[in-house]
Structure 1
Amino acid sequence: MSTAASRREQIRRAGRGRWQSIFVTRLALFYARLWRGTAHFDDEFSIFVCTGLCGGFGRGGTTFGGAYLTKGNTARRVIRHEAVHADQWAHFGLTFPFRYLAEEARRHGPANKYEIEAGLADGGYRLPG
């Protein structure tokens, strides 16, 4: 398989085969390049991990489609957490960021249902109690 074909397959996998998520993944990879980040594909979790960014993301990192953008927050547990967000992008498509922000406005951080689903401990959230 050619390198270009292999990259297309990685993008398809990262987008979970859903066109809206694939589209957002491509945009995120372009955005990461603009911020001078480097992207590698994580086969285990089927997500692009874009590192070396000096800004352009929230908290320790942010997932857009099937691409996780961060300066260097790349622990395996974090990648597993972000892969669930990639699944959420694939499920909800372009409505996901609006759903996430609405949920965040109602239930901040560790109370956000999308963060709970992704795994609070894996995402670095302090657990209540």
Structure 2
Amino acid sequence: MSGTVSRSEQLRRAGRGSRQAVFVTRLALLYAGLWRGTASFDDEFEIFVCTGLRGGFGRGGTTFGGAYLTKGNTARRVLRHESVHADQWARFGLTFPFRYLAEEARHRGPANKYEREAGLADGGYRQPG
């Protein structure tokens, strides 16, 4: 984690060049603060990691834009997985949550194409049988 780069540069990197992803990242950081989380920037995966949240996220953690919200699920493999979700936010912008939820309704968990793209093992999913 790093503090050597300006916050605006971290936001740009976390948003992967997408204004919509930067907007969502800012909202996620505000939301994490309201849940009394602590945000730090991960240089390797270029995402904000917001820890200490007691709720307000799904499963072990959830990525909104370039911010990953969790209580403490911060293994390197998990951050790698969540950084791919940040890439997906940048690619699809504000349509991503709707795309994700529609896919989840048809293909739950490890069958979800967005989870597969992010890496099932890294995300703690079992390979479909």
Specify the TM-score bucket, using the shorter chain as the normaliser. over 0.9
Q: Shift in Å at residue 127 of structure 1?
A: 1.6
Question: In 2, Cα distance between the equivalents of 1:22 and 1:122?
Answer: 24
| Partner Cα distance (1:39, 1:17) in 2 | 20
Alpha-carbon shift at residue 94 of structure 1 (Å): 0.1
**What is aligned with 1:128?**
128
Aligned identity (percent) is 84
CA shift for structure 1 position 126: 1.2
Matched, 1:31 2:46: no
Q: How many residues align?
A: 126
For residue 27 of structure 2, give the secondary structure of its aligned residue in structure 1: helix
1:30 CA drift (Å)? 0.2
Deviations 1:66-86, CA, capped at 9 Å, x for gaps: 000000000000000000000
Gaps of 5+ in 2: none
Gaps of 5+ in 1: none
TM-score of the pair, normalised by structure 2: 0.95
What is the RMSD of the two structures over their aligned residues, measured on CA atoms?
A: 1.1
Offset at residue 17 of structure 1 (A): 1.4
Matches within 5 A, 1:42-81: 42-81=42-81
Q: What CA distance in whole angstroms lies between the structure 2 residues aligned with 1:52 and 1:58?
A: 14
Q: 1:54 is paired with a residue of what secondary structure?
A: coil
Q: Post-superposition, which runs of at least 4 consecutive aligned residues in structure 1 deviate over 2 A?
A: none
Using the size of structure 1 for normalisation, the TM-score is: 0.95
Structure 1: which amino acid aligns with 2:90?
Answer: A
